[in-house]
Amino acid sequence: MTKAVILALALSLSLPVFVSNAAASGKVRVLVMDNLPGITLDFPPEFNVKGLFGIGEKEPDGQGGVRMTLSGNSCPGGGVRINTDGVVINVNKYALTGVIEIKKNGKGLFRIINELGLEDYTRAVVGEEMGADWPLEALKAQAVLARTYAMYREQNRCAAQDYDLCATVKSQMFDGDAVIKEGPALAARETRGEILTYDGAPIEAVYHSTCGGRTEDAYDVWGRKYPYLISRKCRYCADSPYSRWKRRIRISVLDDSLRRAGYMIEGLKAIQVLERSRSRRIKTMRIIGESGSVVMKGTDFRKASGYSAIPSTAFEAHRDGDSFVFVGRGSGHGVGLCQYGARGMALAGKNYREILRYYYPGTTLAKLPEDKAR
């Protein structure tokens, strides 16, 4: 790389970024679990549990460590903050580091919040969201997005909420930071502090598994316009197992799913597509039963049927005996980065900047001040 190019890259990274006071800590608060009647914490021998006097029931775990059980009233009203000091502590099925906060929620059930550094969080999310053996440039694009998404959520949460993100697909997949995978760790390190911005603020960095040929405009999914979440042609995700898919679902199963979601349809007879978006995803459809019909959004149909049963709203449906056959492409809402597309672009020699610029047109890569990227 020439010196001029390096200088240009350095300049593009030094643009000022709006960082609110709330986000200035460089910490992310993740809601790991909620609504639990009880919790089991396993402390390894190197963790000193003496500071946790008067909390829960403690017993030796048989391997030199301590198992602590919390149930019912065995948690102080204001909750507990446990600083793990870098030691991995198992909380139910999660292996956590950073600060573990145990609280009671409004229903009197336990809630676990994990507070950890933005960089540690980024590394963990990349490891969950993409295969650890994926090409580095795709992992780096994912690292920038994971970090950006966390920043966006932290800056846009409502004041009453005491966490920034959930650990599930609702936010980004997070399974604790204890297992360090080489590729994701390198991707986080090589993009340290980098986030994607529009007009100087972190973008709403949504992404999905596979677009199946064209990404979706955010407006067609959520009814909100974003200048950088527009439909893009994608010819890089053909390798995805979700590039093309076929599902056969019994009518009785579809009836049940729709009824549970509040659509009173009995004996589904036909599915008519009323309107498709530019990316050919279903915007509105009519489902016709024995005694009436309902017009619904494609996204609502997918939600009612189950997100894994119907991987995307880009499908055709026809009746076949006692079932409906769905033939579709892509997986997920289709907005923003196509993860398999990023993998394909990286395999074709594109770098993470080119990948991000492609899926989020008009955005700028920026670097957080050093003390925020912890």
User: What does the binding site for Zn ion look like in residue numbers (CB under 5 A)?
Assistant: 211, 234, 237, 338, 341
Least separation in angstroms between CB 129 and Zn ion: 15
Least separation in angstroms between CB 169 and Zn ion: 18
CA within 13 Å, CB half, 327: 4
DSSP assignment of 287-331: EEETTEEEEEEHHHHHHHH-TTTS--S-EEEEEETTEEEEEE--B
Least separation in angstroms between CB 346 and Zn ion: 13
Least separation in angstroms between CB 139 and Zn ion: 17
Distance (Å) of CA 199 to CA 150, 153, 228: 18, 17, 11
| Residue with smaller CB distance to Zn ion, 30 or 237 | 237
| Residue with smaller CB distance to Zn ion, 183 or 341 | 341
Least separation in angstroms between CB 236 and Zn ion: 6
- Helices 182-190, 118-129: axis angle to 10 degrees equals 130
| Residue with smaller CB distance to Zn ion, 205 or 338 | 338
| Residue with smaller CB distance to Zn ion, 197 or 210 | 210
Residue 374 to residue 365: CA distance in whole angstroms: 18
Residue 165 to residue 162: CA distance in whole angstroms: 10
| Residue with smaller CB distance to Zn ion, 114 or 339 | 339
Helix (H, G, I), strand (E, B) or coil at 101: strand
Residue 60 to residue 66: CA distance in whole angstroms: 5
